[in-house]
């Protein structure tokens, strides 16, 4: 194959620094804009001495010049205006763009440069600039052509690769990932073919279980196309990279092998299947390859271990798990035809340096705090930093003082912007955590119990005495017995005291007017790191007593209580601050409904526009006054509200306005939330009388008392969170003032950038003399891009990372330190489309499913069944119009389960993969008594 000719670097128009063709030896990781992801990786592999078939790359400059004459501007403008979920429109525009590129003239110097590389047979492979990236592989989005021979055939294959930048799949993929179509260009690799005896794909980490340093190899005789395209069931080998031991062998099918043959016309490969592929399982003369009689594995054990060792070296070179395409030629030589990062693996949680938990250095068990709290989105850096302070206060409260309060409890770790708790120590004591999670997050409890048989997590702490002593100190110090007694004897008094503290304490933590930024930061750290947590024991005894009494009633009733009956006692539960919030919003909707102009406004104008009008004072008074009253009481709340960095409803009421509009669409009086709530309360009272009578003469009065007190007290379960959210909102206001100070000094572009920093970073920024704001023509004051000492660059990078992480669909609830996701190891797809979860709210409902991943802006038609990953109080306004609930996480006493019971809607929680397996618009039946969801 020719190397780059100096003439290839000069064309009609481009500067000498814009080459048309580059050898692999001239390509490095920094060459991505010129050569795309595939070629950049091949250049890195070749430079590191790995066995890569020789080749060159036709650079993005060649594509740029062809595309410039294709007339794509109109199509690009239309793509900019097309929503990412409008797949038909995207497909039509992709077809138009592809046709334009195929018809565009190829400049002579570009054509000549390509023809000079036509020494066949070669593979002609697309290499896009948005491809094989750390966060999105784009695998299979562009085309590859194989066994191409002849100058004209190579040029035609290159042109077809350019056009494949505009395949339907590539355009929709970019739209879904928020990548600007204008920013992507295509290079083309021209590479010698490998005459493969066997080929396939290797992952250096298990892509299903997540386990690192466990290679999974798929192999088939002949070319690798059948493996990549899924046309065959390949041989599969699993290898422990640390020992080289083959831990699993699974033979595949033996259909006719796909083999390469010299000469002939170009054949398309399956969207980037690699250099050793043929699109339709035939050789390029249309005949089926030979060598198909073998029945044993296509690789020997020695070849498998050699391949795995090679993959391990590639991973070590990149410092991350790799998805590798490989081929074995007739001489027994292994070739690498591609390596890209494995983008689907969830990162392993990491502790802050020096903050790892004490104890052995063995494997660790991490439990997702995000999952437990129903927050799928990543935390903002300031939100995570605030959580660390809260964890330090909680550790102090429980008798585990921390070394560094700002760093938080050593058990905290982070991955992909999510928080995890290292529960290895708790697992070794084997008692409390799974039992607690049984009622809060049943799937996680099930996973943790599944680890009980793993000898790596065997019990080493058998005595419960230390834990009991610490608990006793907390109980005595905070007068817990007296508060329990008060809750039993006088529930209204206990309730009034707790509610008063929840509303008054957060205001006491605020700084005085005019406080300096360093003083505000000090106050926030003291409040979150100590003062706020010290009040928590004041809120817990009353609801805990209520649920304890519910358990007592269950014990007394024994087998006299039927499934779902005790849940019915908790319907229409009074004194729940979240339920009261939802009903207040419903009442506001009723007042707006009575005003025709106000109702028409909410139903006819987008919520985002109405939110803007509210802030600028131009919103219709009938709506603005009601909204202002609601936000005065509940404006500190938000979706994902445990993240201090998330804007509160008082700052951005778009979600609240959208929910009001949703309420206005409910026109059946019998389905009105207040009517349903009252009906649920009446049913609960009847159930108490029924169960008391069924308990018998002696036990009946005790059951009646216990269930009555449970109804009086259990609703207070939301009060501790309401208190903490109020504290977070107050501290957010303090930090917003600090952010305004930093923005005014030119160290931040805008005040809310402060939430993309941590407490130590903000403290450091406050010591940096700012350059002052910069004013650009026609724009408000903004900060310089990155002055000395400015955190602006870090903020920009973190905002971009947060935007990428918002697209992550799968979040493991339990993860091991070797990357293994235990639930994935044991999981199996449900049979016949049925889902099984945890019964959360009794009853059966059949209706149309509505899958909602983010409640902001979500529209739920009355009676639809809400299918979601999780919920927090920001979701609950949707419950008022939902006919039922299916939730991927949670237990019988998780937030969503409790609210569903209170609203009297059937609910199943802890239903694995519900949002993946249930499609919006599908009719399903939810049985909240048995915990099943089936297609209707």
CA triplet 335, 336, 341: central angle to 5 degrees?
165
Instruction: Give the Cα separation of 736 and 701 in Å (integer).
Output: 54
For residue 420, give the nearest of 892, 888, 819 by alpha carbon: 819
Strands 884-887 and 334-341: unpaired
Strand partners, 885: 866, 907
Residue 88, token pair as written in the block: 């038909």
Could you tell me where the beta strands, DSSP code E, fall in 37-121?
55-58
Are the beta carbons of 352 and 422 closer than 8 angstroms? no
Are the beta carbons of 918 and 868 closer than 8 angstroms? no
3 state SS of 358: coil
Burial class (CB in 10 A: 0-12, 13-18, 19+), 364: buried
Strands 884-887 and 774-775: unpaired
State CA 473 to chain mean position distance: 39
Kindly report the backbone phi and psi dihedral angles of residue 200, in degrees, each rounded to the nearest multiple of 5, phi listed first.
165, -150
| List of residues 6+ apart from 458 with CB closer than 8 A | 428
903 conformational bin, left if phi > 0, alpha if psi -120 to 50, beta if neither = alpha
Peptide bond connecting 121 to the previous residue in cis, omega within 30 degrees of 0: yes
Instruction: Give the Cα separation of 67 and 583 in Å (integer).
Output: 57
3 state SS of 726: helix
Q: Does residue 895 have an active-site annotation?
A: yes
Q: Catalytic pick from 181, 478, 575, 895?
A: 895
Q: Which residue has the tokens 């290079």?
A: 187
Instruction: Give the Cα separation of 534 and 541 in Å (integer).
Output: 14
Strand partners, 250: 236
For residue 157, give the nearest of 58, 259, 18 by alpha carbon: 58
Strands 907-909 and 884-887: parallel
Instruction: Give the Cα separation of 693 and 701 in Å (integer).
Output: 9
Other Cβ atoms less than 10 A from the Cβ of 260: the count is: 25
Instruction: Give the Cα separation of 232 and 213 in Å (integer).
Output: 26
Residue 648, token pair as written in the block: 């509160």
> Percentages helix, strand, coil for the chain, rounded to the nearest 5?
45, 15, 40
The separation between the first and the last C-alpha atoms of the chain, rounded to the nearest angstrom, is 61
Buried b (16+ CB within 10 A) or exposed e, 129-143: bbbbbeebbbbbbbb
Instruction: Give the Cα separation of 893 and 717 in Å (integer).
Output: 10
Sign of CA dihedral 473, 478, 482, 485: negative
What is the helix (H) or strand (E) element at residue 830, kind and residue range? none
Instruction: Give the Cα separation of 741 and 748 in Å (integer).
Output: 9
Alpha helices in 144-248 (DSSP H): 151-163, 168-176, 225-229
CA triplet 798, 803, 807: central angle to 5 degrees?
135
Are the beta carbons of 755 and 739 closer than 8 angstroms? yes
Torsion of CA 469, 473, 479, 484, to 10 degrees: -30
Torsion of CA 578, 579, 582, 586, to 10 degrees: -160
Q: Which whole-number Å values give the CA distances from 222 to 113, 209, 290, 292, in the listed order?
A: 32, 29, 9, 9
Catalytic machinery residues: 895
């Amino acid at each position: 194959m020719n190397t780059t000719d100096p003439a290839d670097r000069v064309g009609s128009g481009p500067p000498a620094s814009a080459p048309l063709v580059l050898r692999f030896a001239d390509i490095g990781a920094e060459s991505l804009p010129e050569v795309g992801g595939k070629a950049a990786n091949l250049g890195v592999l070749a430079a590191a001495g790995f066995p890569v078939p020789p080749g060159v790359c036709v650079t993005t400059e060649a594509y740029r010049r062809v595309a410039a004459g294709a007339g794509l501007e109109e199509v690009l403008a239309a793509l900019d205006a097309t929503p990412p979920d409008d797949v038909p429109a995207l497909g039509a525009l992709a077809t138009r763009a592809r046709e334009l590129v195929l018809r565009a003239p190829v400049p002579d110097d570009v054509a000549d440069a390509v023809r000079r590389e036509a020494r066949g047979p070669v593979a002609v492979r697309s290499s896009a600039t948005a491809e094989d990236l750390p966060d999105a592989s784009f695998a299979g989005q562009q085309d590859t052509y194989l066994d191409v021979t002849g100058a004209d055939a190579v040029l035609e294959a290159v042109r077809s690769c350019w056009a494949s930048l505009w395949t339907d799949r590539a355009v929709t993929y970019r739209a879904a990932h928020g990548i600007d179509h204008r920013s992507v260009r295509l290079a083309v690799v021209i590479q010698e073919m490998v005459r493969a005896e066997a080929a396939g794909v290797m992952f250096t980490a298990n892509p299903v279980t997540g386990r690192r340093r466990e290679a999974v190899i798929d192999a088939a005789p002949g070319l690798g196309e059948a493996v990549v395209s899924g046309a065959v069931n390949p041989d599969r080998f699993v290898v422990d990279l640390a020992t080289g031991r083959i831990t699993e062998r699974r033979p595949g099918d033996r259909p006719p092998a796909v083999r390469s043959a010299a000469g002939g016309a170009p054949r398309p490969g399956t969207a980037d299947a690699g250099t050793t592929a043929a699109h339709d399982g035939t050789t390029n003369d249309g005949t089926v390859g030979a060598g198909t009689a073998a029945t044993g594995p296509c690789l020997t054990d020695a070849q498998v271990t050699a391949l795995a060792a090679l993959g391990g070296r590639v991973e070590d070179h990149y410092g991350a798990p790799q998805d590798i395409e490989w081929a074995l030629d007739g001489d027994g030589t292994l070739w690498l035809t591609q390596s890209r990062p494995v983008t689907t693996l969830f990162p392993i949680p990491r502790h802050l340096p020096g903050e790892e938990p004490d104890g052995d250095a063995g494997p660790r068990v991490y439990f997702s705090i995000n999952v437990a709290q129903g927050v799928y989105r990543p935390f903002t850096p300031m939100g995570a930093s605030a959580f660390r302070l809260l964890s330090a206060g909680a550790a102090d409260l429980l008798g585990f003082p921390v070394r560094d309060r700002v760093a938080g409890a050593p058990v905290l770790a982070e991955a992909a912007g999510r928080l995890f708790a290292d529960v290895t120590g708790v697992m070794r004591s084997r008692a409390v955590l799974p039992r607690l999670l049984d009622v809060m997050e049943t799937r996680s409890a099930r996973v943790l119990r599944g680890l009980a048989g793993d000898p790596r997590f065997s019990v080493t702490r058998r005595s419960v005495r230390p834990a009991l002593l610490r608990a006793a100190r907390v109980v005595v110090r905070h007068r817990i017995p007296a508060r329990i007694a008060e809750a039993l004897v006088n529930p209204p008094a206990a309730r009034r005291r707790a509610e008063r503290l929840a509303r008054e304490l957060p205001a006491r933590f605020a700084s005085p007017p005019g406080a300096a930024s360093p003083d505000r930061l000090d106050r926030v750290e003291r409040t979150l790191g100590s003062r706020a947590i010290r009040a928590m024991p004041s809120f817990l005894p009353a609801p805990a007593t209520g649920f304890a009494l519910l358990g007592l009633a269950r014990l007394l009733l024994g087998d006299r209580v039927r499934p779902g009956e005790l849940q019915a006692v908790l319907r229409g539960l009074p004194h729940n601050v979240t339920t009261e919030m939802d009903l207040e919003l419903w009442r506001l909707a009723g007042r707006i409904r009575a005003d025709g102009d106000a109702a028409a406004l909410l139903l006819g104008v987008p919520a985002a526009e109405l939110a803007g009008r509210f802030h600028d004072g131009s919103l219709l008074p009938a709506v603005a006054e009601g909204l202002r009253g609601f936000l005065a009481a509940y404006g500190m709340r938000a979706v994902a509200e445990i993240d201090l960095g998330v804007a509160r409803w008082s700052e951005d009421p778009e979600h609240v306005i959208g929910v009001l509009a949703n309420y206005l669409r409910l026109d059946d009086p019998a389905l009105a939330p207040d009517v349903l709530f009252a009906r649920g309360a009446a049913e609960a009272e009847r159930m108490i009388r029924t169960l008391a009578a069924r308990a018998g003469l002696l036990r009946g009065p005790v059951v009646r008392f216990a269930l009555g007190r449970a109804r009086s007290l259990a609703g207070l379960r939301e009060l501790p969170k309401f208190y903490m959210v109020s504290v977070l909102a107050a501290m957010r206001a303090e930090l917003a003032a600090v952010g305004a100070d930093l923005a005014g000094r030119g160290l931040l572009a805008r005040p809310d950038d402060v939430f993309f920093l941590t407490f130590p970073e903000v403290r450091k920024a406050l010591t940096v003399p700012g350059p002052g704001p910069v004013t650009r023509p026609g724009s408000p004051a903004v900060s310089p891009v990155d002055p000395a000492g400015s955190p602006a660059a870090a903020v920009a990078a973190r905002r971009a990372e947060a935007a990428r992480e918002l697209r992550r669909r799968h979040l493991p609830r339990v993860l091991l330190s070797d990357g293994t996701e235990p639930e994935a190891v044991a999981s199996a797809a449900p049979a016949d489309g049925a889902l099984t979860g945890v019964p959360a709210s009794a009853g059966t409902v059949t209706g149309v499913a509505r899958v909602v991943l983010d409640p902001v802006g979500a529209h739920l038609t009355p009676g639809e069944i809400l299918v979601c990953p999780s919920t927090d109080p920001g979701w609950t306004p949707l419950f008022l119009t939902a006919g039922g609930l299916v939730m991927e996480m949670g237990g019988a006493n998780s937030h969503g389960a409790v609210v569903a019971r209170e609203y009297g809607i059937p609910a199943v929680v802890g239903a694995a993969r519900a949002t993946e397996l249930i499609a919006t618009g599908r009719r399903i039946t939810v049985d909240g008594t048995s915990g099943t969801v089936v297609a209707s």
